């Protein structure tokens, strides 16, 4: 693949502005939040974002699963605008900050700017060694077909060598997700990649996932997600282990596609399970010393970013997995997905 150009990897997801601040317990109590909660903001809690900005020193990071993946891939590739991200944000100051942060890291952003809904935000409220997450999706879940089909936007899809769609995006914009898969899957020179995203997505969006099965070249997920998928697919009763489920899912995908496919499932610090060329292989994770681990929440996003970066360079699947492990290992040594200022040393 020719990585020395724009739009090598084009992704669709739910863009969020991560707002990180060290707060006191009184602030958490004010908004009825626990020190380690992970919740979606209610109407009352929606005021906390401006409150945090006015009260504390806030650090802004471009977030959301797909955006995290793209930021990591962009860092590894190092070619300006080699990656492109689509999603929906609001016409507000937080949207401006979010776009600026992503563009600073070299990502080409093609956001739809919603006239009424606010930019999606996730407050990361830190107290001692605790971290409370409070997310408000708002515009992030309102991406429209109209924006996708505008000629200048669709041109990015035409040019893409790798299309990456998350389950979160498919769940919130199903018609767009289906059109993207149909337009890019099974096309010469293109790879359609899909991430299961979360166990609940496998349950709530199962019909949508089945619709795009024939177009998926590479399926990503973690242990919990592939087990949820296996349950919804009603696989054989003797299909109990992660490895057995991955094999059955791979077989099912190949049957529906009529051609080979790849399934990549991470298991935290355990081996990554690969279905490729109709066989199962496991790849051990390079251990990071426990004392160096700060935050593992974005490990899966970082892994996919590393994998896709190497895939864009024409590497074989084992090498893509190795780069995925490298990227995940780097990112779990900081709070959230923070892109290093120095170039990646994976290539050396």
Active-site annotation, residues: 301
Query: What's the alpha-carbon Rg for the chain, to the nearest Å?
Result: 19
Report the alpha-carbon distance of residue 149 to residue 348 in Å, rounded. Answer: 40
**Long-range contacts of residues 46-53, Cβ cutoff 8 Å, at least 24 apart:** 46/136, 48/123, 48/134, 49/19, 49/94, 49/121, 49/123, 49/136, 51/27, 52/19, 52/21, 52/23, 52/27, 52/123, 52/125, 53/19
Q: How many CA atoms lie within 13 A of 225 on its CB side?
A: 24
DSSP string, 264-310: EEEETTEEEEEEETTEEEEEPPPPPPGGG----TTHHHHHHHHHHHH
Identify the DSSP state of 344. Answer: P
Q: Read off the tokens for 55.
A: 């009260």
> Whose CA is closest to 278, among 298, 248, 300?
248
Backbone angles phi, psi at 4, to 5 degrees: -85, 55
Say how many C-beta atoms besides its own lie within 10 A of residue 56's C-beta: 17
Q: Are 206 and 171 in contact (CB under 8 A)?
A: no
Closest to 321 measured CA to CA, from 299, 331, 306: 306
């Amino acid at each position: 693949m020719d990585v020395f150009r724009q739009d090598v990897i084009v992704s669709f997801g739910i863009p969020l502005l991560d707002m990180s601040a060290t707060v006191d317990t009184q602030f958490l109590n004010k908004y009825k939040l626990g020190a380690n909660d992970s919740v979606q903001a209610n109407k009352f809690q929606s005021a906390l974002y401006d409150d945090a900005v006015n009260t504390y020193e806030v650090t802004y990071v471009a977030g959301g699963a797909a955006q995290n993946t793209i930021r990591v891939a962009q860092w590894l590739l190092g070619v300006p605008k080699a990656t492109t991200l689509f999603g929906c944000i609001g016409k507000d100051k937080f949207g401006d900050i979010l776009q600026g942060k992503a563009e600073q890291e070299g990502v080409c952003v093609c956001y739809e700017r919603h006239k009424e809904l606010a930019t999606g935000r996730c407050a990361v409220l830190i107290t001692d060694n605790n971290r409370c997450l409070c997310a408000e999706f708002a515009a992030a879940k309102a991406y429209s077909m109209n924006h996708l089909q505008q000629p200048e936007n669709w041109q990015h899809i035409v040019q893409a060598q790798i299309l990456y769609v998350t389950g979160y995006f498919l769940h919130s914009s199903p018609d767009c997700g289906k059109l993207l898969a149909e337009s890019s899957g099974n096309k010469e020179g293109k790879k359609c990649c899909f991430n299961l995203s979360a166990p609940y997505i496998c349950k709530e969006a199962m019909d949508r996932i089945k619709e795009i099965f024939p177009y998926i070249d590479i399926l990503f997920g973690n242990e919990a997600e592939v087990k949820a998928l296996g349950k919804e697919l009603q696989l054989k009763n003797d299909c109990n282990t992660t490895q057995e489920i991955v094999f059955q899912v791979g077989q099912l995908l190949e049957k529906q596609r009529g051609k080979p496919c790849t399934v990549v499932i991470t298991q935290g610090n355990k081996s990554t399970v690969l279905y490729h060329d109709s066989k199962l292989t496991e790849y051990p994770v390079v251990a990071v010393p426990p004392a160096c681990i700060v935050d593992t929440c974005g490990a899966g996003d970082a892994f996919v970013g590393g994998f896709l970066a190497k895939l864009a360079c024409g590497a074989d699947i084992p090498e893509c997995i190795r780069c995925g492990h490298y990227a995940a290992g780097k990112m779990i040594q900081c709070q959230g997905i923070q892109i290093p200022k120095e170039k990646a040393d994976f290539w050396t």
